[in-house]
Structure 1
Amino acid sequence: MHCSYFSAAQCRSCTLMGQPYAEQLAGKQRHAAHALGDPSGLEWLDPLQSPEQGFRNKAKLVVGGDVQAPTLGILDPDGRGVDLRECGLYTPGLQACFPVLAAFVAQAGIEPYVVPRRTGELKYLLVTESPDGELMLRLVLRSQEAVARIRKHLPALLSALPRLAVVSVNLHPEHKATVEGDREIVLTEQQTLRMRLNGIDLHLRPQSFFQTNTAVAAALYRQAAAWVAERSPSSVWDLYCGVGGFALHCADPARQVVGIETSVEAIASAQASAREAGLDRVAFQAGDATAFALGSPSDQPPELVIVNPPRRGLGEGLSRWLERSSVRHVVYSSCHAGSLARDLESMPSLRPRRAQVLDMFPQTAHYEVLTLLEREPGSG
């Protein structure tokens, strides 16, 4: 893949840009195998490829420039906006909406936030595209100063961009290196974006997390569901469940599934999906994954646990609980092979049997690795 922004040194986020894709994939496979230490009995499935470009379903656009000519992209070292609307990683549907959004910023008179001076209002535009082509737009603002103007001009935006289903404002008053604040104001009647994967409807609320590569996310869920189906457990926990992707894919009339996630917004989304699908044996609740496990009756563990932690991994508390428990199988989805390896060291009784690298982030060194763990006979 060629990128003019990378060649011109305007953006160097894609650290593997220009490297042949086959080499990128082989390098990620080597990195994952090295991190896990190539334990005996581990079968590596072939790495799952991604399209090299046009795969990102979400755009996180820093708004720079001025109100009449806003830039959508990133900031340079001096805090000036660098426009990246034609970045080849975004889906065609996202690329097509960027000029309309830039025109809306100008029409509504929303002053871009100037980081060096700490002035202005609009910090980010966060745009997500569903598999069906619908869009969700979030405007991250410093204050409510522009909300009335956004409401006034919103009908014109919805007319110009008919695929736009959900629009919200996120208030982030602090000057700090985080993308969003705690308060969200939804401006449209529709409040969730329907993410249809593998015939399952997932609902995405504005503050919920979803994988940025739709095709690879669908493959990730399919592979995990296949491993679960092979073992046919009667009870499953999905810890760090997000909007319920793994749990909903593993639903079965003969199986009790419980999903745990700290985000109240994500849990509301997951509950809506389960309710719509009539899955009365799939339940979701908001809470900390480690606290949930430690607080559960020790004589009633699930037969299988799915974990999809953040980059830092499970941590000592949950890893030790899994090691002490009688859980027979763990399906571990990791976005950081190093933290996965550390967690495996804390759970020596749970041995990796299968693993697969899924290239969620082409052109970068990042990837997802899915691992099936099985308890050694006689342990637990």
Structure 2
Amino acid sequence: MQNHNHEVDITDLSHDGRGVARIDGKTVFVAGALPGERVRLGRVQRHRNFDESKAEEILVRSPQRIEPRCAHFGHCSGCSLQHLPPEAQIAAKQHVLAENFERIGKVAPDRWLEPLTGEPWGYRRKGRLSVKWVAKKDKALVGFREDNPRFVADLARCHTLLPEVGERLADLGALVGSLEARAEIAQIEIAAGDETVALTFRNLRPLSDGDRAALVAFGQRHGLAILLQPGGPDSVVPLWPEQVPLSFRIPASGIDIAFRPLDFIQVNAGMNQRMIARALELLDLRASDRVLDLFCGLGNFTLPIARLAGEVVGVEGEAALVARSRENATRNGIAGAEFHAADLAADQRGTAWAQARYDKLLLDPPRSGAAAVLEYLPRKGTDRVVYVSCHPGSLARDAGTLVTRHGFRLVAAGVMDMFPHTAHVESIALFER
């Protein structure tokens, strides 16, 4: 590490929301800096192919720069773009996607879809808070990690979390600090349905009656369901109330999806509804269509598709989620959906579902993308693919495969602001044969 007191011009924004500059031809990523700014760097951390620093002083400000709403911005790693207005954030995300398409996939969409945006604050209904008892401070910290992941940010509130939790981080810290097991609470998982907000405390040892009573009293006082997780994901048990029914509605499809506190659901409820509507629009479903939905999770897309298509097959790697998808189909009176558990990172071309005929394909893979699946799908007869992505690099790579190997055209693509104020780029793309 060297302290250089360099002044640099910021020319671009990186995929993780840092400014990009060059010193003697070498790229420097500068936290807290925006394109068009001139900044004085703090300490420069050197690496072989790039360097890293922070903006110590903004000498020339970007006209787009705004005051971050959160007092913890710059220390907490939860957000990286609060110094940009939301409309500039989404434009930067579209730029990242376009650059990835060009550089990695060697493709470009025929047209760009209007970005999907929503309420930029208080949107996070799912998240994991780190917890750390700091004996020196006689205080329990509850929040996201700092930029240095060894430390938990000392947060009073979080503006991106649902207010029921985001406004109570200091209260949660005081609660954990009052427990006998204060040093054995590792994290708190947040999961909110439409009616219930649940907090799952990861307790590394059994709790005393006094600690259990304190947690119940906190839940009752603030209207929060409290659960404990003494072991793996299957060990979660409700503490208060006895039953914690969690579900969210997709009103446009008349569907209600039940889930459990540790299940994967989309973080942003409003954006999830807009995203489903756009996916259905791009799929252009007919009553005669047979659709394959890969990486289907709880049936977030599968069940709305089933309302419009003749038949839909959902495939997901996690057997527990497949079981819940089936329960959700029954719960919503849907007969035309079938579900299979299969590891989609492995070769599944020998399975009956992979060999069947489909008119349309929906992909919603994890960050790693769908490379393994695209070795053997889509088969002949599947002329339309809608790809929902949480990582622009893997989408760009897979777009290249669909275009060059499978004979598709990238008809349209667009970004969705699922995670305002963070550098996460969620996107959707339409391919036609």
Q: TM-score, normalised by structure 1?
A: 0.82
Q: Which moved more, 1:68-77 or 1:22-31?
A: 68-77
The one of 356, 361, 366 aligned to 1:310: 366
- 2:249 is the alignment partner of 1:196: yes
C-alpha distance in 1 between matches for 2:377 and 2:149: 47
Identical pairs, percent: 29
1:196-245, Cα deviation, whole Å (9 max, x unpaired): 23342112212311111111111111111222344555211211111110
Contact 2:364 2:388 in 1 (8 A): yes
1:363, CA displacement in angstroms? Answer: 1.6
C-alpha distance in 1 between matches for 2:429 and 2:122: 27
Residue matched to 2:292: 237
Aligned residues: 352
- The aligned amino acid for 1:89 is T
Q: Which runs of 5+ in 1 are unaligned?
A: 113-120, 172-180, 376-380
C-alpha distance in 1 between matches for 2:228 and 2:376: 39
User: Structure 1 residues 195 and 227 mapped into 2: Cα distance closer, same or farther (>3 Å)?
Assistant: same
Residue matched to 2:82: 17
Residue matched to 1:357: 415
Q: Which moved more, 1:16-25 or 1:270-279?
A: 16-25
1:170, CA displacement in angstroms? Answer: 4.9
C-alpha distance in 1 between matches for 2:411 and 2:287: 17
Matches within 5 A, 1:313-328: 313-315=369-371, 317-328=372-383
1:273-320, Cα deviation, whole Å (9 max, x unpaired): 2111110111223222354454236762221111111111002x3112
- 2:98 is the alignment partner of 1:64: no
Matches within 5 A, 1:278-293: 278-289=333-344, 291-293=347-349
User: Structure 1 residues 254 and 218 mapped into 2: Cα distance closer, same or farther (>3 Å)?
Assistant: closer
C-alpha distance in 2 between matches for 1:190 and 1:332: 36
1:10, CA displacement in angstroms? Answer: 2.5
- 2:207 is the alignment partner of 1:146: yes
- The aligned amino acid for 2:227 is V
Residue matched to 1:2: 69
Runs of 4+ in 1 over 6 A off after TM superposition: none
Contact 2:78 2:144 in 1 (8 A): no
- 2:104 is the alignment partner of 1:45: no
Structure having the higher Rg: 2
Q: Which moved more, 1:79-88 or 1:42-51?
A: 79-88
User: Structure 1 residues 306 and 252 mapped into 2: Cα distance closer, same or farther (>3 Å)?
Assistant: same
Equivalent position SS for 1:187? strand
Contact 1:61 1:124 in 2 (8 A): yes
C-alpha distance in 2 between matches for 1:92 and 1:2: 15
1:96, CA displacement in angstroms? Answer: 4.1
Alpha-carbon RMSD across the aligned residues, in angstroms, is 2.7
C-alpha distance in 1 between matches for 2:145 and 2:97: 32
Q: Which runs of 5+ in 2 are unaligned?
A: 1-67
Contact 2:292 2:312 in 1 (8 A): yes
Equivalent position SS for 2:307? coil
User: Structure 1 residues 159 and 298 mapped into 2: Cα distance closer, same or farther (>3 Å)?
Assistant: closer
The one of 153, 157, 172 aligned to 1:82: 153
Residue matched to 1:178: none
1:45-103, Cα deviation, whole Å (9 max, x unpaired): 11112322222112321111358732111355494543224121112122245455445
Contact 1:270 1:284 in 2 (8 A): yes
Higher relative contact order (CA 8 A, sep 6+): 1
Residue matched to 2:197: 135
Q: TM-score, normalised by structure 2?
A: 0.73
C-alpha distance in 1 between matches for 2:341 and 2:350: 15
1:156-183, Cα deviation, whole Å (9 max, x unpaired): 3442233x34624152xxxxxxxxx444
Contact 2:157 2:167 in 1 (8 A): no
